[in-house]
Amino acid sequence: MPRRIVIGIRGVGHRVIDSIWRLGYASRFFLLTLLKSGTSLRRFGLVIRELYFTGVLSLIIILVSGLFVGMVLGLQGYETLQKYGAESAVGTLVALSLVRELGPVVAALLFASRAGSAITAEIGLMKATEQLAAMEMMAVDPIARVVAPRFWAGVISMPFLAALFSTIGVFGGYLVAVVVIGVDEGSFWSQMQNAVDFRYDIVNGIIKTCVFGVAVTAIAVFEGYDASPTAEGVSGATTRTVVTSSLAILGLDFVLTSFMFRGMS
């Protein structure tokens, strides 16, 4: 067998082994974070402080994006439904699209790009400047003091941000469909209320946001804690957080949706 092919196969094998090892290390780190969360939950002020940086500072991009997504849904939905004489059902289209899919997924993607990258950069910078090492020297566990509060803040923030995204998105669809185009307001709201089911739409949407919140925040804190203590290392970790989180969100969305719709059938 030619030497180049052998080297190529060997390189692929090394990458696969490294990926499996890294996945195992990340899983161990995640379990360690859960086990050491007692300090953060007892001193909940640590989590509240991170809630501000993780959740409150993400409100602007969530609200503005949700408004425009809802407006686009209202416009496109009206143009499509009008061809079939069902323009009064635009409220149903907007609400179901946001509650089932776009609300959880787009909000999670925005959360990963804004809050997830910030968490990774902050923890990575603390590692690069040896703040984490200094904590260990003072007998302070950096996972309990730094990682766990940020993890729980992200998990708590994500469902609320997704709910706000969907709510403001419905309002954006209302502005375009009812206020601008002139769809009957009563039909808009009544058909929406009849179509949206609390169990299969709202609860499933909440489950998605919770899963996305855990996945994104777990990836963010791990990448920050595992980053190389250099500027290039922190930059690479931040990029990996956004890319890995985005892929995880889309993959988990498919898996969760397949199970949820199977339960509806």
Question: Is 12 within a domain?
Answer: no
Residue 152: its pLDDT value, please? 93
Give the 3-state secondary structure of residue 91: helix
Question: Is 121 within a domain?
Answer: yes
Q: What is the pLDDT of residues 195-235, one digit of tens each?
A: 888 888 888 899 999 999 999 999 999 999 888 888 888 99
Expressed as residue numbers, the domain containing 78 is: 36-264
Question: Is 104 within a domain?
Answer: yes
User: In the chain, how many H helices and how many E strands?
Assistant: 13, 0
Counting every residue, how long is the chain? 265
Question: Is 27 within a domain?
Answer: no
Q: Domain total for the chain?
A: 1
- The rounded distance, in Å, linking the Cα atoms of 260 and 97 is 15
CB contact at 8 A, 225 and 29? yes
Give the 3-state secondary structure of residue 139: coil
Question: Is 25 within a domain?
Answer: no
Q: What is the pLDDT of residues 94-132, one digit of tens each?
A: 999 999 899 999 999 999 999 999 999 999 998 888 888
- The rounded distance, in Å, linking the Cα atoms of 213 and 59 is 15
Question: Is 235 within a domain?
Answer: yes
CB contact at 8 A, 105 and 249? yes
In the chain, pLDDT over 90 holds for what percent of residues? 43
Question: Is 119 within a domain?
Answer: yes
pTM reported for the whole predicted model? 0.88
Q: What is the pLDDT of residues 17-42, one digit of tens each?
A: 877 888 887 888 888 888 888 776 77
Question: Is 21 within a domain?
Answer: no
Residue 264: its pLDDT value, please? 55
